Structure 1
Amino acid sequence: MRARFLGKDPQSQVGNSPTLYATDRTDRATYIAQGWIVTDPQTLTDIGPVPDGEAIIEIPEDVLKYYARRYQQEANRA
């Protein structure tokens, strides 16, 4: 699987860059999100158990705009 950079948090500093990537999977559309690891106890309680191999991350809303932009581009091609 390959990952293609879509965009990163425009307010991020070097070494602290929540980022969104698209994958080239052919069986379904998937994305890889790089973000801050959630360690807040209340948030983790609210979410509940996290399965092995998964992680809870936080990303800024601005990063999700890159998903919306890609989705819009795909819809315009159809």
Structure 2
Amino acid sequence: MRAHLIGKDPESPDKNSPTLFATDRTDRKTFLVQGWKVTDRSALADVGTIPDHEDIVEVPVDILEMYLAHKEQGEES
């Protein structure tokens, strides 16, 4: 699987995260999201059990808006 950069959070102080990537998977359309790892105990308690092979990350709405813009442009990946 390869990843294609869609965009980075323009408000990020270090310009490295959060970031949105599209993948080139052929069996299903997927995206990779780089974000801030959630460590807040209250938030994690609200979410519930997280499988060992998964994690919860926090991303700003700007990243979700990048996805919508990507979708509206008709991008395949």
Do both proteins adopt the same fold according to a TM-score greater than 0.5, normalized to the shorter chain?
A: yes
Q: State the 1:52 CA deviation.
A: 1.3
Aligned residue runs from structure 1 range 4-15, under 5 A: 4-14=4-14
Summarize the Cα distance change of 1:15–1:35 in structure 2 as closer, same or farther, 3 Å threshold: same
CA offset at residue 65 of structure 1? 1.2
Figure out how many residues of one structure are paired with residues of the other and give that number: 76
Tell me if structure 1 keeps the 8 A contact 2:8–2:15: no
**What pairs with 1:19-34 in structure 2 (closer than 5 Å)?**
19-34=19-34
Structure 2: unaligned runs, 5 residues or longer: none
Structure 2 residue 49 is matched with structure 1 residue 49: yes
Taking structure 2 as the reference length, the TM-score comes to 0.90
Deviations 1:5-57 (A, max 9, x none): 00011011226510000000011110000000000111000000100110100
Paired AA for residue 47 in structure 1? V
Matched, 1:65 2:65: yes
The answer on whether the counterparts of 2:20 and 2:63 sit within 8 Å (CA) in structure 1 is yes
TM-score of the pair, normalised by structure 1? 0.89
**Identical positions, percent:** 53
Matches of 1:54 and 1:65, distance apart in 2: 23
